[in-house]
Amino acid sequence: MPDNGWEASARAWIADMGSDGDFSRRHVLDGPMLARVRASGAHDAVDVGCGEGRFCRLMRAEGIDPIGVEPTADLRATAAARDPGGRYLDARAEALPLDDASTDLVVSYLTLIDIDGLEEAVAQMARILRPGGRLLIANLNSFSTAGTWRGRADDSREFVMNGYADPRAEWVSWRGITVRNWHRPFQTYLQALLGQGLVMTHFEEPQPTGGPPETVRRFRDAPWFHVMEWRKPVTAGSGR
């Protein structure tokens, strides 16, 4: 697989996230993601692309037994060091080393934009879910990955999109981190999920709760994220 920048950016990412995560996680996504975790009734979970393990630790605090999957060595080592009792696997989303129907909950928390083989990864996530299990996704909205803010002559700002319909991988940089992210139109994600026979049970575009007012305003002007939950149907003879 071609380098996506994560090995070189891991230390900067760990420093940027700290122990509690950035604004997006603390003030936008953690609340709705944890609400869905609690409502799922899950006893165990797999966090695909768990990074430094922050959300695994949050799930463990909710009484869930999580497995973290992370291919970047420094991120995985940090996750293990911060959660000595946890289980963290060296693997990519496209080839999960876990048994069929082996978990109640699969989490993809801002990782689909990093994954090259989207269809393969979604198929793997669906495969390891037990019948009745849930796939919980937080992702960047596709208009966000296709667009950018730019200033106007009157000091106001406008959001401009280009090439929304064209899937592409692009390099993005912030605070010492440089990684390759994917832009895909929303239908690409939906088609991959529907193609696995999954059924959507929840969708929202969460708004900020707390934080600096100027940052809150920016996130409300163009909702950057969505949260989706998909259920694996119960089939005849599955026992669920």
Q: What is the DSSP string of 76-107?
A: HHHHHHH-TT-EEE---TTS--S-TT-EEEEE
**Given this model, what pLDDT does residue 31 score?**
97
User: Residue 33 in contact with residue 59, Cβ under 8 Å?
Assistant: no
Domain range summary for the chain, segments of one domain joined by +: 6-144+184-231
pLDDT beyond 50 at 1: no
Least confident of 14-28, 90-104, 213-227: 213-227
Beta strands in the chain (DSSP E): 44-48, 65-69, 87-89, 103-109, 129-140, 147-151, 157-161, 168-174, 177-183, 199-204, 225-231
* Strand pairing class (103-109; 44-48): parallel
**Given this model, what pLDDT does residue 2 score?**
54
CATH classification code of 6-144+184-231? 3.40.50.150
Give the pair of three-digit tokens for residue 172.
Answer: 């993005």
- What is the band of 238 on the pLDDT scale with cuts at 50, 70, 90? low
pLDDT beyond 60 at 239: no
pLDDT beyond 80 at 237: no
Strand partners, 106: 46, 135
- What is the band of 195 on the pLDDT scale with cuts at 50, 70, 90? very high
Query: What's the pLDDT tens digit per position in 44-94?
Result: 999 999 999 999 999 999 999 999 999 999 999 999 999 999 999 999 999
Q: Specify the pTM.
A: 0.94
Which run of H or of E encompasses 118?
A: helix 118-128
